[in-house]
């Protein structure tokens, strides 16, 4: 299945180009996780599912299989996994799927159409609201036989190849197991899977060990050959990133995704020089745009005015932040979809204007007349020019400094509460807090643990917090979760900013209804412009390849996949390398 109708690989291809089909099997890789998981039940609206159990919105099969597997060196292209064949009606409202009869659960029972129907009924009835909304296009799953089914879809939020491909990203669950185990409750009993790995053992809140399934049913398919080479993958839980990083430096963890520039630039030099460690930035363009930023909660009365949100964006001295705090470690995004062709560039073209014109009264005039850009600061820590502009916007919105305090006509103080999860996050906003205080803003920082944070976000009890996005290239149904009005007030929503806009809703519909590259480009660029000019998020980090440091005991293909990293599925354990390095005691 391809959004653009183009396929790199032929039917029955041998293997992806970015794997080693002769990679040896064996060894173990230890990874760190900070997820405080407490359940093995996938896609449930309660509990935190264990890492590796479920996959959605683009990640590769691990414990369960999905209908399709994404190609890591193509955009918007998927090949059959559980699905041996797919037929799609011209209007995309019917998707007929033929399952591979050889597909098996780990207990030897065949994977059938009933399992597919059960999975999507489970999502509709028991999953979090944002997932229910994203897959609300599934009206029913009709079963024609054990291995033959049809998805009946509605076009309420749009239908195109990207929407249909999302069906294949969901982990298919075993009906015969979950009917007995009760899929409506959290559980700490390892469930039955179908994928290349199964759970060998776990210690709650400490570790989770997966073992490779040697007779995995799909091991000889082209989408799997050369992958899943490690005999064991273990997740060790660390509540604190500093402790986890130290565990990596001691050799207790094999691979570390470094997010702190101080360590990336300076702290691994000795081990790198001796060949004991490898430092590498991976390719990753499957997701695009804004990876991380400070989300402004527009549900709050004092943050509804976009002039206020623009003022806050101006007050963030990114030049200083980039020079002093992150040392150029990250790229700042100027689009929700950059660097793809779907990013808004320059002023809107005729096709975009036609889409935006019906909403002219709702939208800022600049959407139609200006090219969006984030105004740069001088980077020396004196953001005076931008602070003056921010103060002007605040005055226009009805806020004035009186006796050093920013207040409105009623005398109410303008206050902002940052809800943060780590000391590192607090370090990142310290200078921003100082800048806001220069504007007379009453600022407070709340540092909370993971469980408390989930409850706070569920109740929208924050003004500003860090948020992460993952928008596929091209965009798929995830944009419903992030920005559609229907998700703005749902508990555990991904629409953290709380935007409710008819224009945004219409552009989402246009994106997910696009039938050509031209239609998609115009709609996605128009959506980008609306989001940017609403100043919902202060952009900090663009989606980019992960920066990884690892102990030099693994083999990997000589080339990276073009659009996303094939880690860890295409890596393998190298006994010779492992024998040469000395991991500290």
Domain identity same for 477 and 564: no
Pairing of strands 572-573, 287-288: unpaired
Domain identity same for 344 and 479: yes
Residue that is last in its domain, among 178, 204, 230: 204
Query: How far is Cα 75 from Cα 564, in angstroms, rounded to an integer?
Result: 10
* Per-residue model confidence as pLDDT tens digits over 225-277: 999 999 999 999 998 888 999 999 999 999 999 988 889 998 899 999 999 99
Instruction: Report residue 308 as tokens.
Output: 């206020």
CATH of the domain at 173: 3.40.190.10
For residue 499, give Cα distances in angstroms to 27, 300, 482, 536: 48, 11, 9, 8
- Which range has the top average pLDDT, 63-67, 163-167, 203-207? 63-67
- Taking the CA atoms of residue 347, residue 350, residue 351 and residue 353 in that order, the dihedral angle to the nearest 10 degrees is 70
Asked if the model's pLDDT at residue 58 lies above 50, the reply is no
Confidence category of residue 382, pLDDT binned at 50, 70, 90? confident
For residue 295, give Cα distances in angstroms to 13, 301, 313, 456: 44, 15, 10, 14
Domain identity same for 55 and 122: yes
Q: What is the mean pLDDT of residues 211-230?
A: 97
In a domain, 30, yes or no: no
Count CB neighbours of 248 within 10 A.
25
Count CB neighbours of 22 within 10 A.
9
Q: What is the mean pLDDT of residues 102-130?
A: 96
Print the domain residue range for 454.
287-372+383-542
Which range among 19-28, 231-240, 336-345, 439-448 shows the weakest confidence by mean pLDDT? 336-345
Q: What is the mean pLDDT of residues 542-563?
A: 84
Residue that the structure tokens 């931008």 belong to? 386
Domain identity same for 292 and 176: no
Of residues 413, 386, 387, 383, the one with CA closest to residue 401:
413
Instruction: Report residue 443 as tokens.
Output: 């600022």
The dihedrals phi and psi of 464, each to the nearest 5 degrees, come to: -140, 140
* Confidence at residue 57, expressed as pLDDT on a 0 to 100 scale: 42
Of residues 518, 515, 514, 482, the one with CA closest to residue 501:
482
* Per-residue model confidence as pLDDT tens digits over 450-485: 888 988 998 999 999 999 887 888 888 889 999 999
* Confidence at residue 284, expressed as pLDDT on a 0 to 100 scale: 60
* Confidence at residue 546, expressed as pLDDT on a 0 to 100 scale: 78
CATH of the domain at 527: 3.10.105.10
For residue 397, give Cα distances in angstroms to 37, 301, 359, 531: 43, 12, 22, 20
Residue that is last in its domain, among 151, 182, 204: 204
Count CB neighbours of 510 within 10 A.
18
In a domain, 322, yes or no: yes
> What is the reported pTM?
0.81
In a domain, 12, yes or no: no
Asked if the model's pLDDT at residue 153 lies above 60, the reply is yes
∠ at Cα 481 (359, 45), nearest 5°? 150
Instruction: Transcribe 497-536 into DSSP letters.
Output: T----HHHHHHHHHHHH--SHHHHHHHHHHHHHHHHHTT-
Domain identity same for 497 and 408: yes
Domain identity same for 125 and 218: no
In a domain, 117, yes or no: yes
- Return the higher-pLDDT residue of 57 and 422: 422
Instruction: Report residue 88 as tokens.
Output: 């799609």
Confidence category of residue 205, pLDDT binned at 50, 70, 90? confident
Residue that the structure tokens 């935006």 belong to? 356
Domain identity same for 343 and 445: yes
Pairing of strands 197-203, 207-212: antiparallel
Mean pLDDT score across all residues of the chain: 92
Instruction: Report residue 357 as tokens.
Output: 């014109």
Q: Percentage of residues in the chain with pLDDT exceeding 70?
A: 96
Query: How far is Cα 239 from Cα 227, in angstroms, rounded to an integer?
Result: 30
* Per-residue model confidence as pLDDT tens digits over 267-302: 899 999 999 999 988 766 566 778 789 999 999 999
In a domain, 64, yes or no: yes
- Return the higher-pLDDT residue of 241 and 347: 347
Query: How far is Cα 502 from Cα 509, in angstroms, rounded to an integer?
Result: 11
Total count of domains within the chain? 3
Residue 122, CA atoms < 13 Å, CB-side half-sphere: 22
Domain identity same for 187 and 291: no
Query: How far is Cα 134 from Cα 494, in angstroms, rounded to an integer?
Result: 11
Residue that is last in its domain, among 187, 204, 221: 204
Instruction: Report residue 182 as tokens.
Output: 């009760």
Domain identity same for 133 and 238: no
Instruction: Transcribe 384-452 into DSSP letters.
Output: HHHHHHHHHHHHHTT-EEETTEEE-TT--B-EEEEEESSHHHHHHHHHHHHHHHHTT-EEEEEE--HHH
* Confidence at residue 429, expressed as pLDDT on a 0 to 100 scale: 96
For residue 97, give Cα distances in angstroms to 82, 162, 338, 410, 477: 9, 16, 34, 62, 20
Domain identity same for 266 and 292: no
In a domain, 494, yes or no: yes
Where residue 71 falls (left for φ over 0; alpha for ψ -120 to 50; beta otherwise) is beta
Point out which residues pair with 75 in neighbouring strands. Answer: none
In a domain, 18, yes or no: no
Query: How far is Cα 82 from Cα 167, in angstroms, rounded to an integer?
Result: 12
The dihedrals phi and psi of 169, each to the nearest 5 degrees, come to: -90, -10
For residue 573, give Cα distances in angstroms to 24, 146, 497, 555: 8, 39, 43, 6
CATH of the domain at 559: 3.40.190
In a domain, 557, yes or no: yes
Q: What is the mean pLDDT of residues 525-534?
A: 98
Where residue 272 falls (left for φ over 0; alpha for ψ -120 to 50; beta otherwise) is alpha
Domain identity same for 494 and 363: yes
* Per-residue model confidence as pLDDT tens digits over 501-523: 999 999 999 999 998 889 999 99
Which helix (H) or strand (E) segment is 274 a member of? none
3-state helix vs strand vs coil in the chain, percent to 5: 30, 20, 50
Domain identity same for 215 and 189: no
């Amino acid at each position: 299945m391809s959004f653009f109708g183009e396929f790199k690989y032929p039917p029955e291809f041998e293997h992806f180009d970015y794997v080693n089909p002769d990679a040896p099997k064996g060894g173990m890789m230890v990874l760190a996780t900070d997820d405080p998981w407490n359940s093995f039940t996938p896609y449930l609206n309660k509990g935190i599912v264990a890492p590796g159990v479920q996959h959605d919105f683009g990640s590769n099969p691990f414990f369960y299989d999905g209908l399709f597997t994404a190609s890591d060196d193509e955009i918007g292209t998927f090949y059959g996994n559980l699905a041996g064949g797919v037929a799609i009606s011209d209007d995309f409202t019917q998707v007929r799927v033929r399952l591979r009869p050889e597909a098996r659960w780990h207990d030897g029972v065949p994977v059938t159409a009933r399992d597919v129907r059960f999975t999507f009924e489970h999502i509709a009835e028991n999953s979090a609201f944002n997932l229910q909304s994203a897959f609300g296009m599934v009206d029913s799953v009709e079963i024609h036989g054990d291995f033959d089914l049809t998805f009946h879809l509605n076009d309420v939020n749009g239908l195109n190849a990207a929407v249909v491909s999302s069906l294949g990203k969901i982990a298919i669950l075993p009906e015969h197991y979950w009917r007995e185990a009760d899929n409506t409750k959290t559980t700490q009993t390892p469930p039955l899977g179908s994928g290349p790995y199964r759970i060998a053992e776990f210690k709650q809140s400490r570790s989770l060990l997966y073992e490779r399934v040697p007779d995995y049913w799909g091991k000889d398919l082209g989408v799997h050959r050369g992958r899943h080479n490690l005999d064991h993958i273990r997740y060790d839980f660390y509540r604190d990133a500093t402790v986890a990083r130290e565990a990596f430096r001691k050799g207790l963890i094999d691979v570390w995704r470094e997010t702190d520039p101080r360590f990336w630039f300076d702290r691994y030099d000795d081990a790198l020089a001796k060949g004991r460690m490898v430092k590498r930035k991976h390719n990753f363009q499957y997701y695009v745009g804004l990876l991380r930023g400070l989300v402004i909660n527009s549900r709050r009365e004092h943050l509804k005015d976009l002039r206020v949100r623009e003022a806050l964006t101006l007050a963030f001295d990114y030049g200083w932040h980039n020079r002093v705090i992150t040392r150029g470690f990250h790229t700042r995004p100027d689009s929700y979809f950059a660097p793809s062709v779907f990013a808004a560039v320059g002023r809107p073209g005729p096709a975009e204007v036609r889409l935006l014109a019906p909403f002219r009264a709702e939208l800022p005039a600049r959407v139609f007349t200006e090219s969006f850009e984030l105004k740069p600061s001088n980077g020396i820590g004196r953001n005076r020019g931008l602070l003056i502009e921010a103060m002007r916007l605040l005055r226009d919105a009805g806020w004035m400094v009186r006796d050093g305090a920013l207040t409105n006509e009623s005398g109410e103080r303008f206050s902002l509460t940052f809800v943060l999860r780590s000391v590192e996050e607090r370090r990142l906003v310290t200078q921003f807090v100082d800048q806001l205080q220069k504007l007379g803003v009453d600022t407070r920082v709340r540092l909370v643990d993971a469980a408390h944070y989930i409850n706070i976000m569920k109740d929208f009890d924050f003004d500003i917090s860090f948020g992460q996005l993952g928008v596929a290239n091209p965009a798929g149904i995830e944009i419903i979760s992030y920005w559609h009005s229907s998700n703005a007030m749902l508990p555990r929503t991904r629409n953290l900013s709380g935007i409710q806009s008819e224009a945004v809703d219409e552009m989402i519909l246009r994106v997910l209804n696009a039938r050509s590259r031209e239609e998609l480009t115009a709609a996605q660029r128009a959506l980008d412009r609306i989001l940017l000019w609403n100043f919902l998020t202060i952009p900090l980090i663009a989606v980019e390849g992960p920066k990884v440091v690892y102990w030099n005991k693994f083999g990997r293909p000589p080339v990276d996949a073009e659009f996303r990293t094939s880690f860890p599925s295409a890596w393998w354990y190298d006994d010779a390398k492992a024998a040469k390095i000395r991991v500290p005691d």
